[in-house]
Amino acid sequence: MSISARTVAPAHRSLIRTPPAPEPQATVQAPGRGHRLPGWARVLLAVVATALSAFSVILPTLIPGVLDKVQGPEATATTALIVIMIIWAPALPCYLLTSFLLTRYVDRRPPAVLGLRLSARSMAGLLGATALAAAVVLLVRVVVHMAGGGQPVDANPGGAPLALVIAYGLARAFLLQGIGEEVLWRGYVLQSLSARPKRALWVSVLVFTAMHLISQGGQDGALDRVLYLIPTFGFALLAGCLALWTRSVWPAIGIHGGFHTGHVVATVTGVNSLSIPQEVAVGLIMTALALVVATRITPQRWAEIAQRGPYAPAQ
């Protein structure tokens, strides 16, 4: 909002021209929003950072003998799951490092703007969002399973301990994907473009979703690939809306990780069917939830985000 102060009477305005007072946001606007790379270039850097982080898991496989523990003739299910989790280890540090580097050296802002502040409220948001997303996935899968739809999925083909299977699923949900991807896309991108917050939200959702066109999730043909984008779009939009509403990226992490956690819980409890209609239903439900959360973001909050960023403490 722009407010110009006038200090002279109307009759004398033609004679004396008083310069307008500084806009209020000039004293509170987060540093680093001027003299930066254009927005499209910052988004492109986020895409590159995503690719580097995702492909960083290739590095451990270059160590001689590592892949033999996963694919070799003497590999067991237990050993394979443990080694795969070790292979995943570089991904999260890479996501966090690239997010911090982009924030510090491209946006010239402190890491605090990424929305990772720890508090009882942010942890409650993480747990609540995880439970919400997992419940949506589990509910849809139960309905599909009871209706006799979907393709069977073997939860544990090699007979690894159940605790290890669960740990593997949670590591994939949060350490490989949920935390790092949300810090980059709902943390860095959302705050970097927040001078126009609604556009920032849609950019962070649509570009993130489009990148999943190259993901491998059992898609068969071009139509399948498009339909499999719907759940990604749904949880990304819900994650973004929650992040803006709660002033924290932790609920966004909960939605992303909870989406995958729901699949883990469903599979290990015997709800072992997957189908495209099921995934589409999950995406549509999460999109509807996102629209509900969006109604809670007031015009004043949108204006505050534009002035101070999405994760500035409430005043």
C-beta atoms surrounding 157 within 10 Å: 8
Distance CA 287, CA 281 (A): 10
Q: Could you give the dihedral angle defined by the CA atoms of residues 21, 23, 25 and 26, in that order, rounded to the nearest 10 degrees? A: -70
Reading the block at residue 5, the tokens are 């102060």
Residue 234 lies in a domain: yes
pLDDT of 219? 62
Instruction: Report the number of distinct structural domains present in the chain.
Output: 1
Q: What is the pLDDT of residue 244?
A: 98
Domain membership of residue 79 (yes or no) is yes
- Domain containing 178 equals 39-308
Q: Map tokens 């860095």 to a residue.
A: 188
**In Å, what is the CA distance from 90 to each residue of 17, 49, 176?**
61, 13, 9
Nearest to 130 by CA among 226, 264, 297, 305: 264
In a domain, 109, yes or no: yes
Cβ distance 245 to 296 under 8 Å? Answer: yes
Do the domain assignments include residue 29?
no
> What's the pTM value of the predicted model, to 2 decimals?
0.87
CA distances from 16 to 20, 22, 170 (A): 12, 18, 68
DSSP 175-214: IIIIHHHHIIIIIIIHHHTTTSHHHHHHHHHHHHHHHGGG
On whether residue 30 sits in a domain, the answer given is no
Please tell me the predicted confidence (pLDDT) of residue 11.
37
In a domain, 27, yes or no: no
Residue 151, classed as helix, strand or coil, is: strand
pLDDT of residue 274: 77
Token digits of residue 218: 């059992």
- DSSP for 291-305 reads HHHHTTS-HHHHHHH
292 within domain boundaries: yes
**How confident is the model over 49-105, as pLDDT tens digits?**
999 999 999 999 999 999 988 888 878 889 999 999 999 999 999 999 999 999 999
CB distance 277 to 151 below 8 Å: no
Q: Is residue 181 part of a domain?
A: yes
pLDDT beneath 70, residues of the chain: 1-34, 150-158, 216-220
